[in-house]
Amino acid sequence: MNKGKSIMLQGTASSVGKSLLTAALCRIFHQEGYRVAPFKSQNMALNSFITEEGLEMGRAQVFQAEAAGIKPSAKMNPILLKPTGDSYAQVIVKGKVYKNMTAVEYHEFKPQLREMIKEVYDGLINSNDIVVIEGAGSPAEINLRDKDIVNMGMAEIADSPVILIGDIDKGGVFASIYGTVMLLTEEERKRIKGVIINKFRGDKRILEPGLKMLEDLTGIPVIGVIPYGDLNIEDEDSVTQRFTRESNKEGKVIVEVIQLPHISNFTDFHVFETLPDVYLRYITSGDRVGNPDLLIIPGSKNTIADLKYLRESGLEKEILRAYEEGSNVFGICGGYQILGQKIKDPLGVESSITEIKGLGLLDVETIFEGEKVTTQVEGRVTFEDEGLMKHCKNTSIKGYEIHMGRTKLGKDVEALVTIDKKLGETVAYKDGAVDKEGRVFGTYLHGIFDEVAFTQRMISNILTKKGLTPSATQPMTFEEFKNKEYDKLAKLVKENLDMNKIYEIMEE
């Protein structure tokens, strides 16, 4: 194969499986010896990641890069939109915050981004054998077509063939595929070289007459029918079903995570689904907090609004009740800020509310500033007691920070960790806070639980306190677990997709 081929996956709607199938192709091409990279020109997600260079990008392209066996780069996702409300979003360009815009403002701004996208994409395709491009939503959003930079507009920039994906699990897959194709222009239809039916359950023989009729109607071959698989791979964003499911109900350690309206980086908790002793549950609107061993308040893209939500929904009282009844409480980033005494926003970074009272479980105060912190860090746990953090001192941790706030510690807390490296440079500063009883914890480090040695030690401490014995199963590192799942995904797709046709399409 010559250098610099591309294939683009578009869908009939959001959540049809574009992100996972992009990861699958990245893994398959990587397994077959090609240099491959994912690319999505524009991603809308609250779930983001910080690269080694301190640049911000969407998490979908992170797990796709992992599947491709390469390090994530903001070049794989040059535009990231982080919604801050119903009609506003923070616009991140090439890994750095550009400004907040309304939906209308951004739509008018998009044509100015076209040349930048082309430049970034050209750099990626010139340094790889294959680039797998992911679209967003549907190419049949005809009201947005004139300024499109992520679906057919991106296919034109890359001059790439397109595979169209339909989700049969939702019902109406033939209508959605046919309707999508028919709403495109003739030139756009010519770009679609194949169709994939995704999330199939049942006997494929029953489906085959419909596949033949669809091919006759559209003139486009169906090149794969991908069944549901038993996979545990992080989702792109909170539009998925992750919050409605529970993992491992037989787990002896109960971990509950509050689903905030503006929850960000919920992938911080994916690791708990891989641990045999843990039962993970998300607390959604209308749920009651139980009596968990560990109650987590996650990150937030709008901390003040989510704090108000906790107060108005009654979840604040539920959290305080669980704490009083013995639950350990852990806050990540925005959740850490919420656990404090006060949050101040004098510059109006998040809202017109200049000061709001926190939950008061940690003696800290946060003030929002104009400059956003985006960094990767490494360090070690420096707090230790006889409770949750027993034998945790000097355990290595790493993660990344994405926040506008600076948090000041009071006299009734001490730091949780010491940071030794920041973006690869040697540093020495403290992060996080722990209360005097050693039961309330806060940190700015997304990904802190991914260090399985640290997390497993906490779980073991909880089991010991309950008079239980940890599982004899030795947990894999989180990286090992993810690679096993990427291989399972690749095997599933390879067995049900005409890969020879994929290569033929790229050669055309």
Known catalytic residues? 333, 446
- Count of CB atoms within 10 A of residue 95's CB? 20
> CA nearest 457: which of 390, 381, 398?
390
Bridge partners of 421? 378, 426
User: Rounded to an integer, what is the distance from CA 140 to the centroid of its chain?
Assistant: 25
> Tokens in use for 50?
């910080």
Q: Which two tokens stand for residue 264?
A: 């960000």
Quote the CA–CA distance of 445 and 422 in Å, as a whole number. Answer: 12
Contact criterion met (CB below 8 Å) for 480 and 21: no
- Distance between CA atoms of residues 250 and 447, nearest Å: 25
- Cα–Cα distance measured from residue 44 to residue 311, given in angstroms and rounded to the nearest whole number: 28
Cα distance between residue 465 and residue 470, in whole Å = 11
Task: Name beta bridge partners: 163.
Answer: 9, 194
Q: What is the DSSP string of 111-143?
A: GGGHHHHHHHHHHHHTT-SEEEEE--S-TT-TT
Residues making up the chain, counted from first to last: 508
Q: Rounded to an integer, what distance in angstroms lies between the CA atom of residue 456 and that of residue 465?
A: 14
- For residue 296, give the nearest of 245, 263, 332, 244 by alpha carbon: 332
Residue with tokens 């911080």, as numbered in its chain = 268
What letter would DSSP give residue 476?
P
User: Residue 446 gets which letter from DSSP?
Assistant: B
Taking alpha carbons only, the member of 295, 302, 289 closest to residue 263 is 302
